[in-house]
């Protein structure tokens, strides 16, 4: 299995699939090709959410504002999974999530033979590399045997690929942890950060859902906002706080865009205060 | 084969696919993931149109405004097909279309063990259920053998799943039939209803295409409108009536949105009068 | 393998997949279903870019403003590839690219039994034809054996299909070559044409990238514009000239639409002049 993720839109990913099919008949599964353009941080967030649902696989992920520059291309082993991606940090948060254990993440660079005229690295570098990794895994017997795939076998297969070499200092993206204030054991405030905006304008924060679940109201940067399990709990156009499918607190608008209503962008800080405390 | 349908956008369906791949390597085919959000009626319309084209399969369909409420999750057998969906009616119109015969539709509920913290029912309830149904069918020999699959074998396989129990009173959606007025055998008026708006703004009614085919003009709620086989038969921005790929009368605009131009929304009534009658 | 391309949006292509699955379990790969509506020329451009990446396959491509008219349906052999498409020219540029040699392109028409009521040719004509071609190839031993598939075996398999007959005069689309002015061997101006606008508004010309690579500035219809490898080289909202993944010169805007900023549409002529010449 090879999963494919990019910000390429359409029909570019099909060119990557064609290239892969020249190397291997491994199953291809699209994760998304409409990720925010040129935003490795958003890609890292969504991949960290989605990839751990899969059994061991090769994941080809290309969101690459640095195309045309001399950033490296990476092959990252995370347990029995392998991520093929540009060296801009997007691979690291999902790799840590896939490995479960930071010790089980191993990063290698691909020797890229890049004449000046090559311009579509997704097709010309990342897709064929993902295909060759898949073939190497299959040949090494680390085939798609599901959750039982042995990380050691995957590591050995990668070690056998001559054009991979250990990465010295890969770029990393680290998502901040929220800061939780407590008084007598009760949460009185959480200072979080916006991790991503989804395509509906929902504002995804780094605040775990448990901190608002069961409450009726919460102050978002001072403004009292209802907490609800469904958008329909508030009128169209009204703001709400909910817990997204990813488990984090979202600042949303029913039938509208939360990013506009809350004036929040990726990287912004956001303070959540339970209403029973500060009112 | 498992087909997947939702209003989740991207990349949430990939999480469902990852979960399914932990259970089975059955082929996955996307029907659509950009259906109108939270609109089981629109989902029912499109599934009734698309699913009957498939040979017997498991269909996982999640458009679910009730997530977070206590609606049931259903496993609906329709002939040799199985639909896994929330109990909000969306499964019933396609089930009747797949079965051909209402008698051959059988509805069961899934015992959902739902801790308060589960928030992504597509991934946590519907995807694994669809996967387990697929596995049960495969193990029962009701495998993907094409149109010849035996409905009895499918029924037996479902009966063997311990966490399914007969549904007492599933929610249903019934699409209204248009009311046709005739004089001396000729159609003089049709009172129909808007079933759905597609993503281009085309207004899909419940009026069968045969009632307008071959005519040059028809009155839509009183306004004389050309009937055409192609959008290009009228100038850009002009209104037309056509027969959509689904076989129903559509109220459209060339290079524009029919829902705005005709002021029609899902559920609205619409009166079509052949021009040779009322002029 | 069968690839699928259309301007149908969603969920119509799923109906085509269901129909194909009634004939064959061949792998299905989507190229794109969001191509510009009713624009065979744009489809031809993108297919010419994407399809040559694939190993030999059957390609079903439906962008068809003529649906409802009496245009033919074609089965085009291009080397060991087969394209199934309406007779509006869209198949010819990718066929020539796939064959490498114009002599190795062979065009046949499908006998279409088309009662007046058939309205979804993608589902009712093109999908089943692509499926039957795939089955005929598989039965003839011209199966999906990768790059080694023999064009002769493909030709023989098509010749054995009774409902195909040689096409007399298929519609063609020929992309114009740019006109290059040189002085003493140096390029002093290129008169090109806009081939396509992608969904981001990027203006794709027919001018080969080599003509601008390595330059810092170029005049586009007289206006001095920076040449850059990445959008980020200019400020948001600023115009730039770049070389797209397809190898041609694009007129783009960082975080904006090039078609609006440059006032260019498909078919428009565009004159590029290296800055060191005319300044």
- A69 in contact with B at a CB cutoff of 8 Å? no
Looking at every residue in chain C, the average pLDDT score rounds to 90
Q: In the CATH scheme, what architecture does the domain A2-166 have?
A: 3-Layer(aba) Sandwich (3.40)
Distance (Å, whole) CA B117 – CA B108: 25
Provide the 10 A C-beta neighbour count for residue B193.
Answer: 18
Give the pLDDT band of residue C160 (cuts 50, 70, 90).
Answer: very high
**Residue C116: its chain B contacts at CB < 8 A?**
213-214
Q: What pLDDT does residue A279 have?
A: 37
Interface test with A, best of B1, B18, B123 (most A CBs within 10 A): B18
- B95 in contact with C at a CB cutoff of 8 Å? no
Q: What pLDDT does residue A38 have?
A: 85
Which among C28, C169, C174, C150 is positioned nearest to C81, based on CA atoms? C150
CA distance A20 to chain C (A): 8
Q: What pLDDT does residue A172 have?
A: 96
Q: What pLDDT does residue A115 have?
A: 53
Is residue C17's pLDDT more than 90? yes
Structure token pair of residue A134? 């898949």
Is residue B147's pLDDT more than 60? no
- Residue of C239 and B229 predicted with greater confidence: C239
**A11: nearest CA in chain C?**
C32
Give the pLDDT band of residue C25 (cuts 50, 70, 90).
Answer: very high
Interface test with C, best of A7, A8, A10, A38 (most C CBs within 10 A): A10
* β-strand partners of C189: C181
Is residue B105's pLDDT more than 80? yes
Looking at every residue in chain B, the average pLDDT score rounds to 90
Q: What pLDDT does residue C279 have?
A: 37
Is residue C137's pLDDT more than 50? yes
- A277 in contact with B at a CB cutoff of 8 Å? no
**Residue B18: its chain A contacts at CB < 8 A?**
50-55
ipTM: 0.90
Which among C203, C22, C201 is positioned nearest to C123, based on CA atoms? C22
Average pLDDT over residues B237-248: 90
- Residue of C276 and A171 predicted with greater confidence: A171
**Residue A67: its chain C contacts at CB < 8 A?**
229-230
Distance (Å, whole) CA B241 – CA B230: 9
- Residue of C48 and A143 predicted with greater confidence: C48
Q: What pLDDT does residue B278 have?
A: 41
DSSP character for A176?
P
CA distance C62 to chain A (A): 15
Out of C17, C25, C119, name the one closest to residue B247 (CB).
C119
Phi, psi of A184 (to 5 degrees): 55, 35
Average pLDDT over residues B122-126: 93
- A167 in contact with C at a CB cutoff of 8 Å? no
Q: What pLDDT does residue B263 have?
A: 97
* In chain C, domain spans: 2-166, 179-278
Q: What pLDDT does residue B48 have?
A: 96
Q: Inter-chain contact B21–A54, Cβ cutoff 8 Å?
A: yes
Locate tokens 């649902």: which residue? A53
Could you read off the pLDDT of B46-73 as tens digits, one per residue? Answer: 999 999 999 999 999 999 887 666 788 9
- A253 in contact with B at a CB cutoff of 8 Å? no
- Residue of C159 and B113 predicted with greater confidence: C159
Q: What's the N-to-C CA distance of chain A in angstroms?
A: 53
Please check whether residue C249 is in contact with residue C212, taking contact to mean a CB–CB distance below 8 angstroms: yes
Which among B165, B170, B136 is positioned nearest to B44, based on CA atoms? B170
Distance (Å, whole) CA B200 – CA B44: 18
Residues 6+ apart with CB under 8 A from A183: none
- C5 in contact with A at a CB cutoff of 8 Å? yes
3-state secondary structure of B2: strand
Q: What pLDDT does residue A120 have?
A: 85
- Selected residues 180-239 of chain A with any CB under 8 Å from a CB in chain B: 198-200, 209-210, 213-214, 229-232
- A45 in contact with B at a CB cutoff of 8 Å? no
Distance (Å, whole) CA C264 – CA C96: 27
Q: Inter-chain contact B15–A230, Cβ cutoff 8 Å?
A: no
What Rg do the C-alpha atoms of chain A give, in angstroms?
21
Could you read off the pLDDT of C60-81 as tens digits, one per residue? Answer: 999 988 766 678 899 999 999 9
3-state secondary structure of C102: helix
Distance (Å, whole) CA C27 – CA B21: 17
CA distance B104 to chain A (A): 34
Structure token pair of residue C35? 């191509």
Average pLDDT over residues B240-253: 91
Is residue C103's pLDDT more than 90? no
CA distance A257 to chain C (A): 20
Q: What pLDDT does residue B69 have?
A: 67
Q: Inter-chain contact C22–B146, Cβ cutoff 8 Å?
A: yes
Q: Which CATH superfamily is domain B179-278 in?
A: Bacterial fluorinating enzyme like (2.40.30.90)
**Residue C198: its chain A contacts at CB < 8 A?**
9
Interface test with C, best of B242, B245, B246, B248 (most C CBs within 10 A): B245
CA distance C48 to chain A (A): 11
Which among C26, B131, B111 is positioned nearest to A146, based on CA atoms? B131
**B116: nearest CA in chain A?**
A213
Give the pLDDT band of residue C278 (cuts 50, 70, 90).
Answer: very low
Which of A133-152 are b and which e, b meaning 16 or more Cβ less than 10 Å from the residue's Cβ? bbbbbeebebebeeeebebe
Distance (Å, whole) CA C54 – CA C32: 14
Is residue C270's pLDDT more than 90? yes
pLDDT (tens, 9 = 90+) of chain A, 279 residues, equals 999 999 999 999 999 999 999 999 999 999 999 998 888 999 999 999 999 999 999 999 999 887 666 788 999 999 999 999 999 999 999 999 999 877 899 999 998 766 554 568 899 999 999 999 999 999 887 655 555 588 999 999 999 999 999 998 999 999 999 999 999 988 899 999 999 888 788 999 999 998 888 899 999 999 999 999 878 789 989 999 999 888 899 999 988 899 999 999 988 999 999 876 443
Please check whether residue A57 is in contact with residue A151, taking contact to mean a CB–CB distance below 8 angstroms: no
- A245 in contact with C at a CB cutoff of 8 Å? no
- C31 in contact with A at a CB cutoff of 8 Å? yes
Please check whether residue A63 is in contact with residue A35, taking contact to mean a CB–CB distance below 8 angstroms: yes
Q: What pLDDT does residue A278 have?
A: 41
Residues 6+ apart with CB under 8 A from B103: none
Pairing relationship of beta strands A28-32 and A2-6 according to DSSP bridges: parallel
Reported as type and span, the H/E element at residue C181 is strand C179-183
Structure token pair of residue B171? 């929610």
Is residue B232's pLDDT more than 50? yes
Secondary-structure breakdown of chain B: helix, strand, coil percentages, each rounded to the nearest 5: 30, 30, 40
**What is the Cα A32 distance to its own chain's centre?**
11
Which among B265, B248, B261, B213 is positioned nearest to B48, based on CA atoms? B248
Structure token pair of residue C203? 């203006």
């Amino acid at each position: 299995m090879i999963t494919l993720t990019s910000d390429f839109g359409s029909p570019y990913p099909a060119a990557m699939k064609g290239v892969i099919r020249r190397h291997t008949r491994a199953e291809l599964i699209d994760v998304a090709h409409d990720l925010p353009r040129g935003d490795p941080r958003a890609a890292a967030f969504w991949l960290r959410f989605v990839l751990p649902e899969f059994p061991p696989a090769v994941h080809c992920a290309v969101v690459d504002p640095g195309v045309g520059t001399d950033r490296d291309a990476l092959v990252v082993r995370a347990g029995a999974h392998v991520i093929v991606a540009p060296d801009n940090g997007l691979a690291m948060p999902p790799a840590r999530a896939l490995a479960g254990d930071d010790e089980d993440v191993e990063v290698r660079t691909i020797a890229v033979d890049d004449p000046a005229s090559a311009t579509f690295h997704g097709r010309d570098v990342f897709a064929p590399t993902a295909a060759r990794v898949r073939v190497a895994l299959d040949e090494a017997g680390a085939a798609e045997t599901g959750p039982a795939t042995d990380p050691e076998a995957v590591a050995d297969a990668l070690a056998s690929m001559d054009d991979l070499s250990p990465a010295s200092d890969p770029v990393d993206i680290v998502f901040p942890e929220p800061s939780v204030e407590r008084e007598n054991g009760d949460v009185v405030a959480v200072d979080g950060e916006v991790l991503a905006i989804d395509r509906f304008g929902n504002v995804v924060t780094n605040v775990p859902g448990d901190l608002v679940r069961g409450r009726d109201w919460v102050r978002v940067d001072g403004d009292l906002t209802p907490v609800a399990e469904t958008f329909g709990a508030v009128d169209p156009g009204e703001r709400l706080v909910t817990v997204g499918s990813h488990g984090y607190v979202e600042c949303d608008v029913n039938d509208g865009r939360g990013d506009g209503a809350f004036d929040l962008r990726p990287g912004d800080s956001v303070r959540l205060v339970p209403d029973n405390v500060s009112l």
